[in-house]
Amino acid sequence: MATIRAFKAVRPTKELSHMVAALPYDVMNSEEAREMVKDNPYSFLHVDRAEVNLPHSVNIYDESVYKKAREILHNMIEKSVFIEDKKPCLYVYRQTMNGRSQTGLVACVSIDDYINNRVKKHEHTRPDKEQDRINHVNYCDANTGPIFLTYREEHNISEIIDEWTERQPVYNFVAEDGIGHTAWVIDDKNVVDRLTALFKKVQYLYIADGHHRAASAARVGLLRREEKPNYTGEEEFNFFLSVIFPDSHLRIMDYNRVVKDLNGLKLEKFLEKVEENFYIFPRSNNEPYRPEAKHTFGLYVEGKWYKLESKEGTFDEENPIERLDVSILQKNLLYPVLGIEDERTDKRIGFVGGIRGLKELEKRANNDMKVAFSLYPTTVEDIMDIADIGEVMPPKSTWFEPKLRSGLFIHKLT
């Protein structure tokens, strides 16, 4: 059973919403963030990446960065860039990319559901990244970036949300990257109560993206509980900001690999070793290959494209981790042929999100890398299957598009 709760969102005025809404803090580096905000004083990156307001010499994890985030957030509220809803509401958030939409419910989720694994995870988190967001949430006294959740679709929930989206939206704009953002406020208490009750019938929620934000939000809640031992469980710090999408709406893109060298092998010997576990098909007219089914791969090396197909017996179809294409590639090629023992730590391997296209793979392999691999996207069902058995996905398995924008909904903790 999933516990969701309405909340009084702090959100931008309609007129400024398109300028406030920003990509999540963790999809760019500090220099890229500085470039993004230089002509936009309203960008939420001024809060989420507050080092952009400070000299380059300041460490991005310095306390002054979190203090600046708090200062700017409070200033934006005082200057009425943001408004706060007068009563707890739920919200609907729709994103449209290349004619395809995904529509989710913006709500708060219980940290107890996270702790008790009713919010299921599929990734490990890094303590340093957790601590960064713990500091950010604590200083801002708010969840500023939503966690991207999914669930196995329930018709009754979708029906209510679909009906609500026929009303007038509070936000409706197309961002600079061409992605449309539309939002509605569900301020009818009867509808809020119905949705809350229906989610109690949802067995699990799953983190699609935002594991570090979720872990840090839960940790902040626990820290606040230690500070207030007489807490009731109803305080806002017991909940964290989320956008919850039905699984059928989500699209996972491929997450591809590039490797710096052939591990000392000549091309002919490399292909000979690859052929031990894969069937190799040179591409006619040297066409780039985007895999069209699971267990097929594209290989680009020395200016030529090949299609690879896994041979029988190279993986266990009954094992939800071993049957992932990222696992098959690692077990049967990256490690035994190219010597990539650990994708998390090996400096010879790089990762390219599918949003960048196959031309980016060619570019990398022709310049700073030597060989590239295109993969078939992991599915949402794969994520759920692995989370259900308490395991985690291999590194760099999923690339979700579009990304949730930050700044459209903020959840205050007090």
pLDDT digits (tens, 9 = 90+) for 234-246: 999 999 999 999 9
Spatial separation of the C-alpha atoms in residues 360 and 7, rounded to whole Å? 42
| 272 and 152 fall within a common domain | no
Instruction: Note whether 332 and 350 are same-domain residues.
Output: yes
pLDDT score recorded for residue 369 = 98
* 307 occurs within a structural domain: yes
Where the chain has pLDDT below 50, the residues are: none
pTM over 0.85: yes
Residues 107 and 39 placed together within one structural domain of the fold: yes
Specify whether 321 is located in the same domain as 196: no
Count the domains in the chain: 2
Same domain, 26 and 86: yes
Q: What is the CATH number of the domain that holds 371?
A: 3.30.1760
User: Residues 225, 267: one domain?
Assistant: no
**Residue 55 sits in which domain range?**
4-251+403-412
Q: What pLDDT sits at residue 344? A: 86
123 lies in some domain: yes
397, part of any domain: no
Residue 384 lies in a domain: no
pLDDT given for residue 395 in this prediction: 84
pLDDT, position 126: 85
Residues 32 and 179 in one domain: yes
364-383 tens-digit pLDDT: 999 999 999 999 999 999 99
Q: Could you tell me if 188 and 41 lie in one domain?
A: yes
Please tell me whether residues 57 and 130 are part of one structural domain: yes
* Model confidence pLDDT, tens digit, residues 315-340: 999 999 999 999 999 999 999 999 99
**229, 193: one domain:** yes
